[in-house]
Structure 1
Amino acid sequence: MLSLADIYAARRAISPTATDTPLVPSPFLERLTGQEVLLKLENMQPIGAFKLRGALNAVASLPEDTPGVTCCSTGNHGRGVAYAARARGVRAVICMSELVPQTKVDGIRALGAEVRIVGRSQDDAQIEADRLVAEEGLTEIPPFDDAAVIAGQGTIGLEILERRPDITTLLVPLSGGGLAGGIALAAKAIRPDIRIVGLSMDRGAAMYLSIRAGHPVEVEEVPSLADSLGGGIGAQNRLSFALCRDLLDETLLVTEEEIYRAMQALYWEDRIVAEGACVVGISALLAGKITLDGPTATVITGRNCDMDLFTRIVTGQSITLGDYVIEGRRYE
């Protein structure tokens, strides 16, 4: 079982490389909600995303004779594993589906990793990662359902509460549950009364639906502005599902239009470039889906977005996601 001690150990392991990122106020969101809202800027990590924390902790725990590592990734986890493997001097092969934006593929290759594009879902990409483990002896670094990865992500919760022990609510993007589960484990151990809300997009929200079903369920992956939140949680999920089920106080969904609006707001009001997955907490605040009762923090998880798409969003142009169209709307 994971404990707070594991998260403190992870912090010691990753501190030489991972950044203790800023926790900054958003005056705009404070005016909107009537409560102080703080942004944990994980987009300031060396790879531009929080995933570096879990990857560094997992790679640090491997035996010295490890020939290489592999993972299945929607982008930022692969970037983290590539960065950590390069620092360790071992081979990295990142398996991704065709739905992953090209900018994330390019970013991983730039870190010296091999990239395998397989199929149109994370399940398809996972099959290739499994083959690399079985046939080539690589060690898999799972994106979320792994004790070392979860402990690494949980260090975010430590940093938030050490700086602001008065936080009453944490708004955390929810996908496979490594981030939400790790933060919840740390935060609830320190402050059992803290409110933790997990947020997903309303198309293909695997963990949200799994919690309601009482067991992991499969979902259809579709293009989304919050593409980093895509993918299933694994039928044999060992850790992250139980952590999210037991420790999250609420789980909420936001629409693609609400994500679009929040990306605009974060850029124009706080001058932050962020992926769609980062803004699901802000989306819920803008849409009036959450009422706050005290100081609140949310995690800005990454900045590795398709800048052409991002520019179209912040300038109010229409966006097409597969067969789904978001009508353009200038920010006011």
Structure 2
Amino acid sequence: MVVNISDIERARLRIRDRIRPTSLEPSYSLSQMCGVSVHLKHEHRQTTGSFKLRGASNAVLQLSRDEQAQGVVTASTGNHGRALSFAAKTCGVKATICMSDLVPENKVSEIRRLGAEVRIVGHSQDDAQEEAERLARAEGVCLVPAFDHPAVIAGQGTLGLEIVEALPDVSTVLIQLSGGGLAAGVALAVKSRRPKARIIGITMERGAAMKASLDASRPVQVEECESLADSLGGGIGLDNRWTFAMCQDLLDDVILLSEQEIAAGMQHAYLQEREVVEGAGAVGIAALVANKVGNLNGPVVALLSGRNVDMELHRRVVCGV
């Protein structure tokens, strides 16, 4: 395995002045509902509104001066693009973010506000990825992938270290599963400290690329669809080098959620926890509310991964107006 626990520990030292450690809070409503202790990791309160700043910062800080001078490029469903734009700006590095037309406007406008160049390309994350790779080849800019990169995986894994240090006897971690950078990094960190902990990936039914790939025992393409959990969209890359193998080795289960179940998770987060989270950020809560986690043992940690939701959408989904 390319990434190891030492990489994650070094990443934490490297990015400690660039990110904020986030709190792990007990959820009384979910604990009562599930009959076991449930805690919520408030990563949606991270600077830039999602966990993505950890991996993006770790990647940018490891670039050479020459690489930083060339600038960085990536493909993103929104949160990685925002995080990379922020990390690049703080280091004086030019950033170009390629996205499909499925990315919500609130995420696009925030990336532009941070000074990055935005390119809207095609109708899927795969289309945006092709453009990012083309720019890297044609213009010599440094490609910083959203998930399939050792520095990104190690950066996301710092979140797992925080979980185990705050809750040493954690038994189950519910983690967002998309391209696998977050799931791989957190699973590695948690299992290195707590080998018997179960790490369960949570994703949407529509276009779950990593789940389809795990079922096929190889990376496969899927059709990308609109979803409340838009941050979980996109493929994992047919030439995936790191996250597929790590998720295959480290994840104990994967749970799929319907759009209605994701909406119920967003509603619970707001009405019971008083937290505004985007659809992807609520999938851990949603899996618990839908009673989809089998053999549930506590303590349980569900990650609130991001808050970058269009507030009009949030109002319609959560408040029904």
- TM-score range normalised by the length of the shorter chain: over 0.9
1:1-332 to structure 2, matched below 5 A, reads 1-66=2-67, 67-291=70-294, 292-317=296-321
SS at match of 1:18: coil
1:18 partner amino acid: I
2:318 partner amino acid: V
Which range is displaced more, 143-152 or 290-299?
A: 290-299
* Runs of 5+ consecutive residues of structure 2 not aligned to the other structure: none
1:20 partner amino acid: P
Per-residue Cα deviation, 1:53-106 (whole angstroms, up to 9, x for no partner) = 000000000001221000000000000100010011011000000000000000
> How far did residue 136 of structure 1 move?
1.1
Which range is displaced more, 23-32 or 50-59?
A: 23-32
> How far did residue 314 of structure 1 move?
1.2
> How far did residue 316 of structure 1 move?
2.1
Q: Distance in 2 between matches of 1:287 and 1:83?
A: 35
Q: Distance in 2 between matches of 1:115 and 1:240?
A: 26
Q: Distance in 2 between matches of 1:99 and 1:218?
A: 17
1:282 partner amino acid: I
> How far did residue 287 of structure 1 move?
1.1
Q: Is the 8 A contact 2:71 2:94 kept in 1?
A: yes
Which range is displaced more, 273-282 or 144-153?
A: 273-282
Q: Distance in 1 between matches of 2:99 and 2:135?
A: 13
Residue number in structure 2 paired with 1:327: none
Q: Is the 8 A contact 2:284 2:304 kept in 1?
A: no
Normalised to the residue count of structure 1, the TM-score between the two structures is 0.94
2:170 partner amino acid: I
Q: Is the 8 A contact 2:221 2:235 kept in 1?
A: yes
SS at match of 1:47: helix
1:27 partner amino acid: Y
Count of matched residue pairs: 317
4+ runs of 1 displaced by more than 6 Å? none
